[in-house]
Amino acid sequence: MTDQNQASEPSTGETPPPAAPVKAIRLASLRRDPRGWIVLLLGLGAPLAFFTAAGGSGIGLWGWQAGLAAIPWIILTALLTLILAIVFIILNRRKGRKTRWPLLGLGMIATVGFLGFLIPYVTAITTLPAIHDITTDLADPPQFTALTLRADNWDNIPGVDDRDMRGMNPRQRWATVHQDAYPDIRSVRMDQPVAVVIEKAKRLAEDRGWDIASVDPAAGNLEATATVSLFRFKDDIVIRARAAENGTASIIDMRSVSRVGIHDLGANAKRVRRFLSDLSGTTTAASQ
């Protein structure tokens, strides 16, 4: 007679195989996502190529011209990556497929972030004039003595085909374009003697990490070089202080010139504004 408490089915003594781990399933899904991988690799590759081009120029692996020449192609790659990702999403929807977001989403985030990083530079190159020599005194710019003004400083000044600047020489065109773009950059006045102003300017320059080429408090002159960006561009600076009100006050002028390139993307103007603001505590225009 059969025991009623005994199981109706015989036991085989074997345990059922464990279910496949969820992580393994997800990894397999990612491996089968070639579109996502394409977007991710391109999305990460564009910023990596940008920083490689800039950093390589900065440490001398190749010239700055080669580094800059690569940037338009890198930007184009980033834009095409974003377009490609959008096309993949649209195609998935039309075919009723679910978009696999992990890889594609990360690639899109990297691409959008990189393009957002570039927006200020693109805006500057499209809205500011292609000049690289900025000064507070267009009629009598401070002159370099310890440092040398670049030989091609007056080449490629915009306005050659501008009717309003017809007949002007390069320096006159530069002054006109400069005034239109940066009317706020002017001489400043400080209620301190020339020597005190130059000593303060020297401390500020050192705080900014500039290389001091020459400083003469008595003559009211300071020259220095600033190194900027991953490209390690060199910009030469001269600060001039002239006595006013029988020596109790000073009129300060500043000039900042890029050693290479045509367009400074507004970097020199930004430097002049910030330095004079820190030096004087105000950007009030000077009056003799």
The position carrying tokens 């507004």 is 266
The pTM score is: 0.82
Entry field: residues in the chain: 288
pLDDT in tens, 176-190: 999 999 999 999 999
Asked if the model's pLDDT at residue 71 lies above 90, the reply is: yes
Res 284: pLDDT: 43
Mean pLDDT estimate for the chain: 89
d(CA 88, CA 37): 12
pLDDT in tens, 189-232: 999 999 999 999 999 999 999 999 999 999 999 999 999 989 99
Half-sphere exposure of 200 (CA within 13 A, CB side): 19
Closest by alpha carbon to 196, among 218, 179, 164, 176? 218
